[in-house]
Amino acid sequence: DGGITQSPKYLFRKEGQNVTLSCEQNLNHDAMYWYRQDPGQGLRLIYYSQIVNDFQKGDIAEGYSVSREKKESFPLTVTSAQKNPTAFYLCASTMGGQANYGYTFGSGTRLTVV
Amino acid sequence: GQQVMQIPQYQHVQEGEDFTTYCNSSTTLSNIQWYKQRPGGHPVFLIQLVKSGEVKKQKRLTFQFGEAKKNSSLHITATQTTDVGTYFCARLSNTGNQFYFGTGTSLTVIP
């Protein structure tokens, strides 16, 4: 079955450590996105990529980095520069280079900084 | 800005009652999408509305896009416990590269 796989489901990190969240899709979607979700808030865009080897910052990119070396993969690194990294991270993809189709979301990674 | 306001933030209903959530924008929208997120889950795409005054139905769910394309609503008739979750609307950015999500309406259905 086609879909988006995010791993791990739960992640604990010590302060000062970088951590990389995995996102893999087999939908042959061109565009991929990383969102952050905090309790009582909507989804906020961190980074997005419409094509391999190209990506753009979203509204809250500070303290995060991404890469898009393959169409199927869009990993997100949460660096130690991110001041409040504890959150639910969602990866999404959509057909085409324009966000004019419904997003398909992965099941998310819950990151806790301890 | 490009945000959309969603009301109410929370709604508790008795099973069998109707439910409506509203999505409002200060600017004209090119389209609007709706998503449902079950507790502990991830958002799932429900529908996209594009035309002024458009009305679409999915079983007990009715989606409307305002005539001026500045607001949208999701109405659920005779709620069931399976309707529990948070409903988000999302608007396309001016650049057309991403969607901005509302803060969501959390629906609780009391059996």
CA-nearest residue to A110 within chain B is B40
Among residues of chain A, what percentage have pLDDT more than 70?
95
| Unique residue bearing structure tokens 């990383």 | A34
pLDDT greater than 70 at residue B23: yes
Task: Write out the DSSP string of A53-88.
Answer: TEEEE-TT-TTEEE--SBTTB--EEE-TT-S---EE
Burial of A63 (0-12, 13-18, 19+ CB in 10 A): middle
Backbone angles phi, psi at B81, to 5 degrees: -65, -25
* d(CA B10, nearest CA chain A) in Å: 10
How sure is the predictor about B1, in pLDDT bands with cuts at 50, 70 and 90?
A: low
| Nearest CA among A46, A50, A43, A41 for reference residue A62 | A46
Q: What is the pLDDT of residues B36-54, one digit of tens each?
A: 999 999 999 999 999 999 9
When the pLDDT of each residue in chain A is averaged and rounded to a whole number, the result is 92
Q: For chain A, say whether B58 makes contact (Cβ under 8 Å).
A: no
CB contact under 8 A, A99 and B97: yes
Cα–Cα distance between A73 and B50 in angstroms, integer?
30
